[in-house]
Amino acid sequence: MAQYQYDTLIIGTGPGGEGAAMQLAKHGQKVAVIERHHEVGGGCTHWGTIPSKALRHSVSRLVEYNQSPLFADVQPAHRLTFKHILGHASSVINKQVKLRGGFYGRNDVAVLRGEARFADEHSLAIRQPDGSEELVTAAHIVIATGSRPYRPQDIDFNHPRIYDSDTILSLKHEPRSVIIYGAGVIGSEYASIFRGLSVKVDLINTRDRLLSFLDAEISDALSYHLRNSGTVIRHNEEYERVEGTDDGVVMHFKSGKRLKADCLLFANGRTGNTDRLNLKALGLKANSRGQLEVNDRYQTSLPHIIAVGDVIGYPSLASAAYDQGRLAATGILDADQDLGNLVPDIPTGIYTIPEISSVGKTEEELTAAKVPYEVGRAQFQHLARAQIAGSPVGCLKILFHRDTKAILGIHCFGERASEIIHIGQAIMEQKGEGNCIDYFVNTTFNYPTMAEAYRVAALNGLNRLF
C-alpha cells in the first residue's frame, strides 16, 4: 500500500475547506490545508461575505440613525465615508481570522502556506513566495479553492478607478458617483451600501428584472426601495467598451448611451479558481466558468479527488459550501456510508437595504406547476416590535397549499429578514403533518417580536380559504 504524508490534503481554507478539515480531523485523520493567502478564511472572510456584510451593517445603522425621529432634533444628520466603514469591516475580518485559525490549531490540522498545483494524482507542489516549491502527498485531495470575480479581458482592471468586488475593498478616494455593472446579489448589495453613503449610483442590469430568481413581489419591492433611495436602475443594458480617464470612468453601451462616474464596480459573474491548479496533470478539465463536475459524493472523475464549494457551481453559498465539505469528508471516511444531501430548500439571504431572504417556491413557480396555493401576508408596519424599532418597511409572505396547508415557500423583505426566515424554514423541513401553517396559529410567540409576523401572516392566509 502506498505511503503518503497525509491522509487528506485540502486546497483552500474557506467554508468548504474548513468544513472538510474539521470533519476529517475530528475522526482521526492526518490533515493539512493549503492556503495561498497569508491568513486563513478564504475569499468568504477576506473579500466576499464577511466584509460586504460588515459594510452593509455599518451603512444600515447610519441610515437608521439619520431617519429616526428620536434624533432628528438632537443634532444634524451624520455622514460616514467608505474609509470609515472599511475600518469596522477590517476589525470583523481580524476577529474571524483569529477564530478560524484557532480551529485548525486545536484540531491539529497543519496549515501550509503557498499556492498549490497538482504534480500528479496524489501529489501537490506548493509554491512559496520566494519561488521555491515543496512537494506534499496524500491519499485524498479536496479542491475547495472558491471563486473570484469575472474579469472581461477588454476592461483594464489595473486602472485606479475600475474595481471588482474584491478590489473595491481597497478603494482609497471618496467617490461622489459610481457605476455598478451587474445587478445580481453582489451588485445590488453594493448599490445599497453606496447609496447609504450618499453616493450617486447607476445600477446596470443586463436583464429585464432585478434578481429574477426571487419571488416577483419581493423583487419589485427591492426595485422600488432602491429607486426610492435615489438609485438609478437601468435594465437590459450591455456595455460596449469602458474608457478610464484621469478622474473617472466612462461606460459606453450597445444601446448608444454613455454614463460617466468617479469609479466603476464591475460585478457581473464569478469564475472558479481552478485555472492555476494544473488540472491537466490529472486529466481533469473545468468548464468555461472554471467549475468542476462532481457526482453526488462530490467526487470528480478521479474518486479520490473531491471538489466542494464555488468550484462546483450551484448554490455557491458560504453556508452550503461548509455543509458540502462536511458531507464530502464523511464520504472520504466511509466509502459505503450514505452521505445524504443538502436540505432541498436552501435559504437565500441578500443583504441589501432593506434585507431579503427566501426559502422554497415562488408564486411564479407554483403557478407554472399548477399547484393550488394561497398566500398569507404580514406587513411589518403593523407589528409592535417593528414600530418600536422604527423599522416599518417590509413584509413576510407565506405560500401554502390550499388543501393540505403545507408550507411551500416563505419570502421576507425588511430588517433582519435573513434571521426571521429560519423560523419558517424549520417548520417547512418537518415531514407530513408537521409541515402545516396551522403551527404558527397554535404556537405562542414572544410579544412584541418580529417572529410574531408568522402568526399574523398565517391568520391572514387561512382567512382567504373557503
CATH code assigned at 42: 3.50.50.60
CATH code assigned at 390: 3.30.390.30
To the question of whether residue 240 is assigned a binding role by annotation, the answer is: no
Query: Cβ(9)–Cβ(138) under 8 Å?
Result: yes
Residues 144 and 290 in one domain: yes
Burial of 170 (0-12, 13-18, 19+ CB in 10 A): exposed
To the question of whether residue 183 is assigned a binding role by annotation, the answer is: yes
Residues 310 and 402 in one domain: no
| Domain end residue (candidates: 236, 268, 300) | 268
Burial of 8 (0-12, 13-18, 19+ CB in 10 A): buried
Residues 25 and 112 in one domain: yes
To the question of whether residue 185 is assigned a binding role by annotation, the answer is: yes
Query: In this predicted structure, what is the pLDDT of residue 340?
Result: 80
Question: For residue 56, what are the contacts with CB-CB under 8 A and spacing of at least 6?
Answer: 189, 192, 193, 351, 352, 353
| Domain end residue (candidates: 268, 291, 308) | 268
To the question of whether residue 182 is assigned a binding role by annotation, the answer is: yes
Query: Residue 154, by phi and psi: left (phi above 0), alpha (psi -120 to 50) or beta?
Result: alpha
To the question of whether residue 146 is assigned a binding role by annotation, the answer is: yes
Query: In this predicted structure, what is the pLDDT of residue 450?
Result: 96
Question: For residue 412, what are the contacts with CB-CB under 8 A and spacing of at least 6?
Answer: 356, 357, 358, 394, 395, 396, 397, 420, 421
| Residue at 156 is within a domain | no
To the question of whether residue 436 is assigned a binding role by annotation, the answer is: no
pLDDT 10s digit of each residue in the chain, 466 long?
579 999 999 999 999 999 999 999 999 999 999 999 999 999 999 999 999 999 999 999 888 888 777 776 766 667 788 888 998 999 999 999 999 999 999 999 999 999 999 999 999 999 988 889 999 999 999 999 999 999 999 999 999 999 999 999 999 889 999 999 999 999 999 999 999 999 999 999 999 999 999 999 999 999 999 999 999 999 999 999 999 999 999 999 999 999 999 999 999 999 999 999 999 999 999 999 999 999 999 999 999 999 999 999 999 999 999 999 999 999 999 998 888 888 889 999 999 999 999 999 999 999 999 999 999 999 999 999 999 988 899 999 999 999 999 999 999 999 999 999 999 999 999 988 899 999 999 999 999 999 999 999 999 999 999 9
| Residue at 348 is within a domain | no
Domain residue limits at 455 = 354-462
Residues 323 and 386 in one domain: no
Query: In this predicted structure, what is the pLDDT of residue 76?
Result: 65
To the question of whether residue 90 is assigned a binding role by annotation, the answer is: no
To the question of whether residue 12 is assigned a binding role by annotation, the answer is: no
To the question of whether residue 84 is assigned a binding role by annotation, the answer is: no
Residues 224 and 212 in one domain: yes
To the question of whether residue 334 is assigned a binding role by annotation, the answer is: no
Question: For residue 409, what are the contacts with CB-CB under 8 A and spacing of at least 6?
Answer: 215, 358, 359, 360, 361, 362, 363, 365, 366, 398, 399
To the question of whether residue 363 is assigned a binding role by annotation, the answer is: no
| Residue at 294 is within a domain | yes
Residues 133 and 73 in one domain: yes
Residues 216 and 111 in one domain: no
To the question of whether residue 36 is assigned a binding role by annotation, the answer is: yes
To the question of whether residue 39 is assigned a binding role by annotation, the answer is: yes
To the question of whether residue 111 is assigned a binding role by annotation, the answer is: no
| Domain end residue (candidates: 211, 241, 268) | 268
To the question of whether residue 371 is assigned a binding role by annotation, the answer is: no
Residues 378 and 279 in one domain: no
| Residue at 405 is within a domain | yes
To the question of whether residue 184 is assigned a binding role by annotation, the answer is: yes
To the question of whether residue 309 is assigned a binding role by annotation, the answer is: no
To the question of whether residue 390 is assigned a binding role by annotation, the answer is: no
